[in-house]
A and B are shown apart, each in its own frame.
Chain A
Amino acid sequence: MITPFQVAYKNLLRKKVRTLLTLVGITLSTWVLVSLFGFNRGYEKALNRDIENMGYQLMVMAKGCPYEAATMMLQGGTGLRYMDQSMVNDIIKEAEVDKITPILMQAFFDPNKGESGGIAGYFGVDPATYPAMKPFFRFRSGGWFHDNSAPEVVMGYEAAELEQREVGDMTLVPEKNVQLKVVGILERTGTQDDGTIFVPLKTLQRIAGIDKITTIGIKVKKDADITKLENKLYQLKDVQVVSFSQVKQTIMKLISTARVMVLSIAIVAILIAMAGVVNTVLMSVLERLQEIGILKTMGAMPGDIFRLVWTETLILCSIGGIAGIGFAFLFARATDLLMRRILPYAPSGGLVAIDGKLALLTLGSIITTGLLSGLYPAWKAGRVRPLESIRRDG
């Protein structure tokens, strides 16, 4: 015996090229949709992770562009303004402050980096206060500096790999021609810390020839009022306060244009795919009017014909949807790389987070949209009158 499902499936095999093109359309739109949803989730997750890994919730820095400051803190960079280190002593008195650490960011031009040279970023950190901000740091070998003015460095995992350094090796600070000893190499963290070279604060100040700092990281006490502390910090002269919730909002604003663009592409892709479904199924119905009429003489009710045509839509959308999800999983890494090229700022770690729940949700959306697209052709098929279709043949 044959089932209506088999009949629907075999109907789709009649015009193989047309069916294939429709499937390609659905597959592509599903691929874009899953990747977009995956990106939406993945980006925010990666950003949260990066922010959590900063170890502090507030940054105080010399007045300047807050957007620049925010991205530089996350990505590293040059051009930050300086402030007095004495500011640390003023801030630590505040009741809401749990931990505090001064940081000096410096960047030197390294002519041997890449093909035409590049910037090497250094973080001057206080070994007495900075490690407490990053309790999740694990050392692949070695440990922190011996003191705040030791001629030593701790290298992030990728920085050490790139320069092929081991604990005990010497490393040269470009531009300044100062040799520092590698005393520790960190395990991979999946954050920007992997590419960072940490130097004792006083050592970096000596090398750079300045006695100031660029940033103060503040960890707020549990249950303390961060807004209240922010307001107090704003009273300090010539500083700006950046809370990481602000940083997150700023970055999300920066990428919102890209997200809207990708969302628009996805919507257009879905509309095209659905137009393809309507076209394919409607054409298939119009080509089979006589056959549909004959099915009715055989005893098929209007509802049977409606379901038969709707099943064809269901099969198309299911196969296309599953294939699109498969491609999205398969090419998630490539999508990640592409998004990194497009976006003004990309946090470290995976940007595209696709899982089974998301895949099922998208498949459900595609099938639902597809079934809605199939309503008209199915309804039209259900209304075919056998006599009219037979007459049409004459």
Chain B
Amino acid sequence: MTIESNVLLEARGLTRVYHRGSEKIQAVDGVSLTIRRGEFVSFMGPSGSGKTTLVNLLGCLDNPSAGELDIAGRNIFGGGKILGERDLTRVRRELFGYIFQNFYLIPTLTVRENVALPLAFYRKPGVETEVERLLAMLGMEHRMEHLPEQISGGEMQRVAIARALVNRPEILLADEPTGNLDSKRSGEIGEILKDLNRNAGLTIVMVSHNPELARLGGRLVEMRDGQAYET
């Protein structure tokens, strides 16, 4: 396998401009970068540096104002085309799993049901047993029938990770995954992400304010004024 064939995500001149009244805000300014399969890339930077906006573009949560993006050999954005919500959803469900600072678990569903929730809308072949396997892997097998209110914040994020992985995504996109957790729980989630990357070969793209967590990844990208700098 060549290095080129290992490229999972390639961004070329990605730009995102917002307009607030007459003011023009260049949140991401012509970022080009390549992420290979199995990489763990952390984005750091001060508030307003554009790291979350960039990761949203890489994660197909938003359309860029300019630039191109290829994922798994497919051209997602490029040539000025704007993808509608339906097309973006198709890309997201095939390629990505997402975790956020807030866990967004459905309070009336059990842990098992929360993890199985994505399968109610889209199911890749062979993922039927993933719910139990992932919960066991994340040490949550004894909490399967509990409601979110009955488990701790760290456990909730584990459930959110299991939910993000249930459809076997190519890339796990994590936006401040420990933002709502204390340092002990943050460390545990960090270890889980590291294990997923090293042992399962999962590609992870993470945004974090936490330098310790950010350093878990093999690659650190610093964002300043909408531009990305490899460190």
Residue of B nearest to A307 (CB): B121
Residue of B nearest to A300 (CB): B121
Q: Give the contact stretch, choosing among A211-219, A321-329, A382-390.
A: A382-390
Contact (Cβ within 8 A) A11 B108: yes
Residue of B nearest to A304 (CB): B121
List, in ascending order, chain B residues with CB within 8 A of A2's CB: 109, 113, 116-117, 119-120
CB within 8 Å for A291 and B104 given contacts A2-B117, A7-B120? yes
List, in ascending order, chain A residues with CB within 8 A of B118's CB: 298-299
The complex places the Cα of A7 from the Cα of B114 at a distance, in Å, of 10
Contact (Cβ within 8 A) B89 A301: yes
The answer to the question of B93 belonging to the interface, with a C-beta cut-off of 8 Å to chain A, is yes
List, in ascending order, chain A residues with CB within 8 A of B229's CB: none
Interface string of A1-45 (1 = CB under 8 A from B): 111101100110110000000000000000000000000000000
Contact (Cβ within 8 A) B104 A294: yes
Interface string of A267-311 (1 = CB under 8 A from B): 000000000000000000000001100111111111010000000
CB within 8 Å for A7 and B106 given contacts A300-B121, A302-B85? yes
Contact (Cβ within 8 A) A3 B121: no
Nearest CB on A from B145, distance (A)? 13
The complex places the Cα of A3 from the Cα of B113 at a distance, in Å, of 9
List, in ascending order, chain A residues with CB within 8 A of B117's CB: 2, 7, 295, 298
Q: Give the contact stretch, choosing among B94-102, B193-201, B208-216.
A: B94-102
Contact (Cβ within 8 A) B106 A296: no
The answer to the question of B80 belonging to the interface, with a C-beta cut-off of 8 Å to chain A, is no
The answer to the question of A115 belonging to the interface, with a C-beta cut-off of 8 Å to chain B, is no
The answer to the question of A393 belonging to the interface, with a C-beta cut-off of 8 Å to chain B, is yes
CB within 8 Å for A14 and B62 given contacts A2-B120, A295-B117, A296-B89? no
Nearest CB on A from B214, distance (A)? 20
Interface string of A165-187 (1 = CB under 8 A from B): 00000000000000000000000
List, in ascending order, chain A residues with CB within 8 A of B15's CB: none
The complex places the Cα of A296 from the Cα of B88 at a distance, in Å, of 10
Contact (Cβ within 8 A) B85 A10: no
Contact (Cβ within 8 A) B167 A13: no
Count residues of B near A (Cβ-Cβ below 8 Å): 29
Residue of A nearest to B84 (CB): A302
The answer to the question of B92 belonging to the interface, with a C-beta cut-off of 8 Å to chain A, is yes
Contact (Cβ within 8 A) B86 A387: no
The complex places the Cα of A37 from the Cα of B117 at a distance, in Å, of 43
List, in ascending order, chain B residues with CB within 8 A of A301's CB: 86, 89, 121
Nearest CB on A from B64, distance (A)? 12
Contact (Cβ within 8 A) A297 B113: no
Contact (Cβ within 8 A) B116 A1: yes
Looking at the complex, which one of A14, A297, A304 makes contact with B98 (CB distance below 8 Å)?
A297
The complex places the Cα of A351 from the Cα of B118 at a distance, in Å, of 53
The answer to the question of B138 belonging to the interface, with a C-beta cut-off of 8 Å to chain A, is no
List, in ascending order, chain B residues with CB within 8 A of A14's CB: 107-108
List, in ascending order, chain B residues with CB within 8 A of A4's CB: 120-121
Subset of 6 A-B contacts with CB under 8 Å: A2-B116, A4-B121, A297-B96, A298-B117, A298-B121, A300-B89
Chain A residues in the interface with B (C-beta under 8 A): 1-4, 6-7, 10-11, 13-14, 290-291, 294-302, 304, 383, 385-387, 390, 393
